[in-house]
Structure 1
Amino acid sequence: MAVGQRGRGTGRVDVGLLGRREECALLDQMIAAAGTGQSRVLVLHGAPGVGKSALLEYMDSAATGMRVLQAAGVESEMELAFATLHQLCVPLLDRLTGLPAPQREALETVFGRRAGTPPERFLVGLAVLSLLSDASGDRPLLCVVDDAQWMDRASAQTLGFVARRLLAEPVALVFGSRQPPQDLLGLPELEVTGLKDADADALLQSVTRARLDRHIRERVVAETQGNPLALLELPRGLSATRMAGGFGLLHADTLPGRIEQSFLARIDALPEQTRLVLLIAAAEPVGDPDLVRRAAERLGITLATALEDGTDGLLTIEARVTFRHPLVRSAVYRAADAGDRRAAHLALAEVTDAQADPDRRAWHLASAATRPDETVAAELERSADRAQARGGLTAAAAFLQRSVALTIDTPRRVDRAVAAADASLQAGDLDAARAFVDSADRDAQSESQRARAHLVRSMITFAAGLDKQAPPMLLASARRLEPLDMELARETYLTAWCAATLATADAGSAQAISEAMRGLAPPHGGPRALDLVIEGYALLITEGRGAAIPVLQRAVTALGELPVQDFLKWGWAACSVSPVVWDDRGMREIFTRVVDRVRAVGALTELPLYLSGLGTMTVLHGDLAAAAAIVAESEGVDAATGVPMAQYTKLLLTATQGKEAEAAARIAAVIEQAEADGQLNAVAGAQWAAAVLHNGLGRHDRALSAARAGVGTANLILCQWMLPELVEAAARAGDRTVALGALDSMVEAAAPCDTDWAQGLLARCRALLSDGAAADGLYREAIERLERTLLRPDLARAHLLYGEWLCMDDRRRAEARAHLRTAYEMFASIGMEAFAGRARDRLQAAGEPVRERSAKTRTVGTPFTAQEAQIARLASEGLTNPEIGAQLFISARTAEYHLRKVFMKLGITSRRQLRDALLDDTAHTA
């Protein structure tokens, strides 16, 4: 704690902080780094009263020449979406016009300055990052957020995202918190503990009037554990005798309570009207003195009169209403009579502008309510709608939950309970969602209410990862919804189908769901993309690919114009259509389009799913550098969101590259974890990668084992992609029975699709199990067809297999060498080390010496990091720094920072030189 006065804004502390030399030095380093254009982030955490706020005040005072933005979490505002963020950003709102349109509109929406669709929370995060980056261009920026444990969830998520993306901005962002909030975990942190004994003793002596005996001081210091607020507060008004006798009852785990009791004793000594003013201030989180004054007048209190004799230093009303410490606010509020609390909230509601601040008014009215009140419940419901529109899912859930409790009419209460359950589900609070759906089920008055409650329950089950339970529940929900809401029923059927076939491999549920989908009435006005997907998927299971393929091919075309909101709602299911019909170009187009759209709206929670599809497709196309960039982007999203994503693309990439040690270790780790979690899809994906790796290394028996295990648990798409690996592994391992069985499955999967991808792979698989002229013709057909696709690795593998087959005939050795040479050069240029080694060995055995292509070390600088590689690639494609930042969810200044490092490593000075330098670098490292 401070001893003496603080020179606010002067850049120095007049007296300083006792015992905080190391902490202050660290804060000084943060300020100095920001002054030189480097970002710094820190979470200060510790017990109440330990001195976090004093350290933040020190940082404020020491920040000479910096612009300081401040905000504080308020316990009663935790349900108001973006409340803390708004506090922090208000001084910068005049800069919104300088942001890219999507980012500007996102912030205007969440701050209630415009109406619009709810922006994705990570687009809001990018907008705040851009705003801070822009503001720091004038002078370095210090952002201070105190009492971060009381931030609303939307603000915490946004600021956590920003903190993880700051890099090359002159911005210092520091949080003070009792415990690091969940959304700030993993950020640099410093635990603030009690003062050392000597410093604590000096602080205690500075605030005690009488000289205390040494053993009394030691006892006080020991039992407060050096907590500065306790040292300042607890001795107040106590004699040396009482201190000596009373502190023996104090224990560390009760310290906050004892400090609060000390504040309560001081509060109790104040006149009644003064206590009521403190209560109004405690219930009013904005800190607006005029609001407090007008609320006090509603209760018949004149502020000047009530504060005439002061508040014993507990409350200051100047430009803002400020409590001595957050514990004072909580002590005042919790100790007040329930009737007084309700009266204070009602007074505040009456003086809060219903137009300018309707949500705080609604929350005050709810806190003032003593019984169910439809007027207040309706206000809360409207507040929930506004919160939902701003993207405040947690806030929407909280408003709806309170609205349910205040609703009198049973049918209306059930509707609100279903809405509260759904909002809680979207906010990730599955326990609350279950509680409200139970309430809705119990009190439902109509089949419509029961059906909607059942749908939410089904989605909770799906979200909880209960894969085997979810499909039949979703099917039952869809059936119940058919006569009530056909559009919602169709979407539910599609979700159920995907839960049974893509999320799991539940053949029984898939059959039942598909049969129900076949029975749906034709849509009015002709089929849309959704209808074609549903029809095609249903036919796929009930009638087979021959009937389904024409419909699904029409669906691929229709999906090209699907709005982004539909993609966010059910596009994850639609993106599987192109792979099912073996349409490699359609797959590239749809995944590229949807990733661009999802990036544009900042939907980071959905983005990794689509990046996984795009990355897998990119590996299949043989652009391993681009696939590595996609993996890096996905990992960046993981880091920003704190949500780990599936490893499919990374596994397949390392397996395709043939990096044996790295791939084998990663595959084993994923299989172990996925089996423990019961995630069979992840197991199958890892087995697919293992089959690719071992086929490349020529260890066909191990590839056979992996492919057989994977096919047995794989979903629809993974299974069809794994079959060529199984055919090759079994044929080369000499297990003709398994190979023929796999070929039969491959025929069923590919024969109905007249695409070069399907027919090329099918011809390659058939050739492996054929002889003589038949095999020769099939290999040639495979090569011819695969040459017309984007699938360079599969084409190279066709050349390799054909070359290996030709080697068996001594008369065709020259022809064999030509195909093996082509395969080797293709594998080497793609970066498929294991397959390149296999082709090289066969080529040498066929009598052609091969000089191994070795990677050259870059002569300028060092290799690129994953993010540098991404930024270099995007810059070479002509994207500006703001465009790169928007795509990678970093600031434009960070993009520029990385690009400068790329220039240095390549030995160039401008973007004009970048494309040629990258091409030259690729040629040297291939």
Structure 2
Amino acid sequence: MVSASRVQITDLRGRDEECGAIRDLLDGADGGGALLVQGEPGSGRTALLAYAHRHAGDRTVLAGTGLADEAALPYAGLQRLLDPVRDRLGALPAPQRRVLRRALAGEGCPAGQRLTLSMAVLGLLAAVARERPLLCTMDDVDLGDGRTAEVLAFVARRLGHLPVVVVLTGAVDTAPGGIPTCRLRPLDERDSRAVLSDRLPVPASEPVAVALGTVAAGNPQALVDLAEALSPAQCRGEEPLPTTPPPDGVLGRGYRARLNRLPDDTRRLLLLAALDDGMDAATLVRAARVAGTVIEALAPAEVAGLVRVEARGVTFPQPPARAMVVATAPLAERRTAHLLLAALLDGTGHRLRRALHRAAAAEGPDPVLASELTEAARDEGSPDARSAALQRAAELSVDPASATARLVAAAHHAWAAGRPYRARLLTQHLPTGPTEPTVTARAELLHGEMELRCGRTPAALTALLAAADAAAGTAPDLALQALLRAGEAICFAGDQYRYADVARRARALRPTGASPGTELPTAHLAGVAATLRGDHEVAGPTLRRAVVLGDRLAGRDRTPTALTGAAVAALLVAEDGAAHRLADRAVELARVRGEVAALPRALELRAVAEYWLGRHEAAAETSREGLRIARSAGQDTWAGVHRGMLAVLAAVRADRETSLRLIREIGEEPAPGSRPDALARWALAVLDLLDGRPEDAAERLAALARPGTGRGQVTVQVMATPYLVEAAAASAHRPAAVAALAVFDRWADSTASPSRRALSARCHALLAPRGSAAAEEGFRTALRRHPPGAGAFERARTEFLLGRELRRSRRPRDARRHLHDARETFTRLGATAWADQAAAELRAAGESVGGPDRTAARLLTGQQLRVAQLVAEGATNREVADRMFLSTRTVDHHLRNIFHRLGIRSRTQLARVL
């Protein structure tokens, strides 16, 4: 394809697995081997060949490159590759020698002698390798002549035990059979940032790194080109960033050269397809006709892999290709293409697309076109498209007040699309002059929400309350939205005592209308405030009303924000199924609408619901997704929330290594008392409890909230109360546990949740005198209340604690049944540390359980076991790294340790062991 794959970097970010495969070939003691590296332009194929050359050691190196200019010359690439060793032709049998000499001299090779020619090349490489092992590489093998590619593929399949290594590179559709292949995938967020860090003149701010990563779409050369083109002000986020890789960069020059080789009609059609990403095949056919050509003119671009035309639309398989087609086209051609597309879409129902094309071709202020863009953006398009339309409308505006309103709206849509950097830039330099209070309120609301999700919670609260004040007189619905976010900021920071003021402001608004969209936030704020002050008699009905309203949402009222508000209400009245349903709807709606910014919060609530439902693995998967999206959307604070939830879930399943790693990643950034900080402390307390340090665990959990002061993470402490009571039952922290349990009881008694009441009964049993009838009755009551078929882990914990109580009361025979049931459930759930504790209690009760067996689950750490399970299921190291948020280097390290501990040597053996 395009020769712009040459990323000349010595530290290959994100290519650990591919480098390892090359090293394995070069270090192999059993002979040689072959590898085909596939990748899009700019993915680093040439850099990997350079890596192979650097690690070739004492091998002889033959290196060639496929050249498009020689594609029509059979065996031209072979001639350049073998020219350094032509003096060894005498080692070949005469027939092979004659055929190879003719081919290298440009005389071709008859079809009937191609096998002889291929055997001659194989024999020549073997002769060279007799003196020293040989490394033979061919870059862009698909770009040069086809005959050379055929011969090299033949050789690569027949190396056997020859000390010859062949490494070929090509496009993603280069796939000669029988050759081991690895495909270079886009770099993940972490590796993309590392590439930028290697190249930028000054460190980039977090939003800048995210924005550049989005533009580059994980393409290493695009990242390098962008980094080299940035000014220091752009690195700091003070000036707008490029929206495409630079046309004069290495990647851009490569695409330009490739496009220049295409016919004029092909390039015109490619440009039309690139300028409208909503174009379907039928529209492209009409566009070709209007442009004076036919759709068949696009065939050379399809053959080259630049574009793929299907009935549902036109796609560019290589992410940077669309941007580079547009960026490398002359301005006059782009303007002509935009006008053609605008005329083509006239009257077709694609009002926003048509207006955007007209606006792209506009040359000066145009109030009429600005109004058309604004109206079209109100009802059509993704958040990205709406943001672009409104920004362009602001540029075409004459009135500063209208321009300000449109820029603020554009920023809101940019934020919704998960682009906080762009949103900030759009609001940094608003036009001067009078501004409507509603527009001011919307700007403050946006500022506050971005600070809440990405920055500083105190600043967020100040901005959100200012937004509520600005909108109170003219837009009460907007004021309610600001108050909802303000309440969220208060709860995140652990300053619940301030929530009463937010609820008071909401009561004072009394917005007109009785739609669910108006009633729901009012009920939410009143219900949460009543819950935080412990008035569950008021809170319960109010929050249940919010849940009902959430289920009835429709039309414009049905937003991810409204659904998450209803999910919070459901969690506070322990309606876990409803909470999961509402949070899941919020997730799906946000995805459909492209509102990326709403996903981390919705996924957090879904994970909490899954935790209460006892679906710990599902909660972990949800939190992993939430962490990935929060990081990509620049929502650092909510990335901390998801890391904290993952740390708790890892600690509960006794995966110490993963839990501590996540806690380290949270770091010291969250303020003491914030939700990430509280979750991290909860996770550490669970690990303390597992390690037999109940005093430490109780101290951590007792400090999560301070009853009576309205400070701290009350909701997190309520979730952790069963662990607090267990840790503090026989310690100096018992009074704190009693106080926390009183809060838990008042809440549990106000709900209809059997699982909450089961936990309450278990906690009271733990606080009862050891060996008393009250203790045993409390545990048995808890077992009766645990709902069947749900919350198996918590039921097993109750069985274990009852068994332990009976064993310590010198009733070993009665204890064994409960301990057996607990151990069986823990084992089935993969909670090996808890199963070990049950086994230890069984042995103490006189049961001959036996010492720990030597299964994989006992030999491996929690994280190693997770890696092993994924690999046994067929996942590659890269896929394992993506799912576990690790680097491929870490996964490779774990896999080597797994093989060593289990005494195996292959993935196949690992699958058998597991």
Which TM class, normalised by the smaller chain length?
0.5 to 0.7
The Cα shift of 1:457 comes to 4.0
The Cα shift of 1:657 comes to 1.5
What residue in structure 2 maps to residue 113 of structure 1? none
| 1:912-923 equivalences in 2 (<5 Å) | none
**Residues 472 and 378 of structure 1, relative CA distance in 2, 3 Å threshold:** same
CA contact 2:274–2:322 (8 Å) conserved in 1:
no
Instruction: Write the distance in 2 (CA, Å) between the matches of 1:633 and 1:454.
Output: 29
Query: Helix, strand or coil: the match of 1:468?
Result: helix
CA contact 1:523–1:531 (8 Å) conserved in 2:
no
CA contact 1:422–1:456 (8 Å) conserved in 2:
yes
Query: Helix, strand or coil: the match of 1:839?
Result: helix
The Cα shift of 1:654 comes to 1.8
CA contact 2:416–2:595 (8 Å) conserved in 1:
no
What residue in structure 2 maps to residue 285 of structure 1? 334
Q: How many residues align?
A: 636
What residue in structure 2 maps to residue 865 of structure 1? 870
1:24 aligns with 2:140: yes
**Residues 731 and 289 of structure 1, relative CA distance in 2, 3 Å threshold:** closer
1:824 aligns with 2:820: no
What residue in structure 1 maps to residue 844 of structure 2? 845
**Residues 463 and 174 of structure 1, relative CA distance in 2, 3 Å threshold:** closer
CA contact 1:11–1:61 (8 Å) conserved in 2:
no
After superposition, the C-alpha distances for 1:229-268 in whole angstroms (9 at most, x for unaligned) are xxxxxxxxxxxxxxxxxxxxxxxxxxxxxxx9xxxxxxxx
The Cα shift of 1:845 comes to 1.0
1:770 aligns with 2:750: no
After superposition, the C-alpha distances for 1:890-922 in whole angstroms (9 at most, x for unaligned) are xxxxxxxxxxxxxxxxxxxxxxxxxxxxxxx99
CA contact 1:71–1:85 (8 Å) conserved in 2:
no
Instruction: Write the distance in 2 (CA, Å) between the matches of 1:412 and 1:290.
Output: 26
The Cα shift of 1:548 comes to 0.2
**Aligned mate of 2:525, from 520, 534, 544:** 534
After superposition, the C-alpha distances for 1:559-618 in whole angstroms (9 at most, x for unaligned) are 334459734233333322222222333334434554455556665554454444434444
**Residues 556 and 856 of structure 1, relative CA distance in 2, 3 Å threshold:** farther
Instruction: Write the distance in 2 (CA, Å) between the matches of 1:423 and 1:753.
Output: 39
The Cα shift of 1:851 comes to 4.5
CA contact 1:401–1:417 (8 Å) conserved in 2:
yes
CA contact 2:587–2:602 (8 Å) conserved in 1:
yes
1:806 aligns with 2:806: yes
**Aligned mate of 1:571, from 563, 567, 571:** 563
Instruction: Write the distance in 2 (CA, Å) between the matches of 1:604 and 1:770.
Output: 49
**Aligned mate of 1:699, from 689, 693, 698:** 693
CA contact 1:615–1:630 (8 Å) conserved in 2:
yes
CA contact 2:718–2:740 (8 Å) conserved in 1:
no
The Cα shift of 1:520 comes to 4.2
What residue in structure 2 maps to residue 661 of structure 1? 657
Query: Helix, strand or coil: the match of 2:696?
Result: helix
What is the letter of the counterpart of residue 479 of structure 2?
A
**Aligned mate of 1:360, from 340, 344, 357:** 357
What is the letter of the counterpart of residue 412 of structure 2?
D
What residue in structure 2 maps to residue 220 of structure 1? none
**Residues 743 and 582 of structure 1, relative CA distance in 2, 3 Å threshold:** same
Instruction: Write the distance in 1 (CA, Å) between the matches of 2:405 and 2:248.
Output: 45
The Cα shift of 1:90 comes to 5.7
After superposition, the C-alpha distances for 1:453-490 in whole angstroms (9 at most, x for unaligned) are 44344344435422122224323322442332232232
RMSD over aligned Cα atoms: 5.4
1:560 aligns with 2:551: yes
What is the letter of the counterpart of residue 769 of structure 1?
L
Query: Helix, strand or coil: the match of 1:144?
Result: coil
The Cα shift of 1:707 comes to 1.9
Query: Helix, strand or coil: the match of 2:846?
Result: coil
What residue in structure 2 maps to residue 884 of structure 1? none
1:462 aligns with 2:452: yes
CA contact 1:142–1:173 (8 Å) conserved in 2:
no
**Residues 546 and 788 of structure 1, relative CA distance in 2, 3 Å threshold:** farther
Instruction: Write the distance in 2 (CA, Å) between the matches of 1:792 and 1:710.
Output: 27
**Residues 17 and 431 of structure 1, relative CA distance in 2, 3 Å threshold:** farther
What residue in structure 1 maps to residue 665 of structure 2? 670
**Aligned mate of 1:758, from 756, 759, 779:** 756
**Residues 666 and 143 of structure 1, relative CA distance in 2, 3 Å threshold:** same
**Aligned mate of 2:501, from 508, 512, 526:** 512
**Aligned mate of 2:677, from 679, 683, 699:** 683
CA contact 2:383–2:593 (8 Å) conserved in 1:
no
Instruction: Write the distance in 2 (CA, Å) between the matches of 1:515 and 1:50.
Output: 57
What residue in structure 2 maps to residue 144 of structure 1? 306
The Cα shift of 1:782 comes to 1.8
Q: Structure 1 vs Structure 2: percent identity of aligned residues?
A: 22
Instruction: Write the distance in 2 (CA, Å) between the matches of 1:4 and 1:686.
Output: 54
1:496 aligns with 2:501: no
The Cα shift of 1:796 comes to 1.6
What is the letter of the counterpart of residue 549 of structure 1?
G
What residue in structure 2 maps to residue 784 of structure 1? 784
Unaligned runs of 5+ in 1: 96-134, 146-157, 164-170, 182-259, 261-277, 292-347, 872-887, 889-920
After superposition, the C-alpha distances for 1:319-349 in whole angstroms (9 at most, x for unaligned) are xxxxxxxxxxxxxxxxxxxxxxxxxxxxx99
The Cα shift of 1:705 comes to 3.5
Unaligned runs of 5+ in 2: 4-64, 82-136, 144-168, 187-218, 226-246, 286-297, 308-312, 349-353, 858-866, 877-882, 884-909
TM-score (norm. length: structure 2): 0.58
1:477 aligns with 2:467: yes
**Residues 382 and 753 of structure 1, relative CA distance in 2, 3 Å threshold:** same
Instruction: Write the distance in 1 (CA, Å) between the matches of 2:71 and 2:336.
Output: 22
The Cα shift of 1:41 comes to 5.6
What residue in structure 2 maps to residue 117 of structure 1? none
Instruction: Write the distance in 2 (CA, Å) between the matches of 1:639 and 1:787.
Output: 37
**Residues 720 and 403 of structure 1, relative CA distance in 2, 3 Å threshold:** same
Instruction: Write the distance in 2 (CA, Å) between the matches of 1:605 and 1:866.
Output: 33
| 1:176-191 equivalences in 2 (<5 Å) | none
Query: Helix, strand or coil: the match of 2:306?
Result: strand
After superposition, the C-alpha distances for 1:620-642 in whole angstroms (9 at most, x for unaligned) are 44445545554665577679879
1:422 aligns with 2:412: yes
CA contact 1:6–1:13 (8 Å) conserved in 2:
no
Instruction: Write the distance in 2 (CA, Å) between the matches of 1:816 and 1:417.
Output: 69
CA contact 2:356–2:373 (8 Å) conserved in 1:
yes
Instruction: Write the distance in 2 (CA, Å) between the matches of 1:407 and 1:49.
Output: 32
CA contact 1:631–1:649 (8 Å) conserved in 2:
yes
TM-score (norm. length: structure 1): 0.57
Instruction: Write the distance in 2 (CA, Å) between the matches of 1:90 and 1:71.
Output: 16
The Cα shift of 1:720 comes to 1.4
Instruction: Write the distance in 2 (CA, Å) between the matches of 1:437 and 1:723.
Output: 44
The Cα shift of 1:825 comes to 2.0
The Cα shift of 1:842 comes to 1.6
**Residues 144 and 752 of structure 1, relative CA distance in 2, 3 Å threshold:** same
Query: Helix, strand or coil: the match of 1:829?
Result: helix
**Residues 723 and 442 of structure 1, relative CA distance in 2, 3 Å threshold:** farther
CA contact 2:647–2:660 (8 Å) conserved in 1:
no
What residue in structure 2 maps to residue 234 of structure 1? none
**Residues 631 and 430 of structure 1, relative CA distance in 2, 3 Å threshold:** closer
Instruction: Write the distance in 2 (CA, Å) between the matches of 1:828 and 1:611.
Output: 28
Instruction: Write the distance in 1 (CA, Å) between the matches of 2:521 and 2:713.
Output: 21
What residue in structure 2 maps to residue 815 of structure 1? 814
CA contact 1:693–1:834 (8 Å) conserved in 2:
no
What residue in structure 2 maps to residue 547 of structure 1? 538
**Residues 787 and 352 of structure 1, relative CA distance in 2, 3 Å threshold:** closer
Query: Helix, strand or coil: the match of 1:86?
Result: coil
CA contact 1:567–1:594 (8 Å) conserved in 2:
yes
Query: Helix, strand or coil: the match of 1:849?
Result: coil
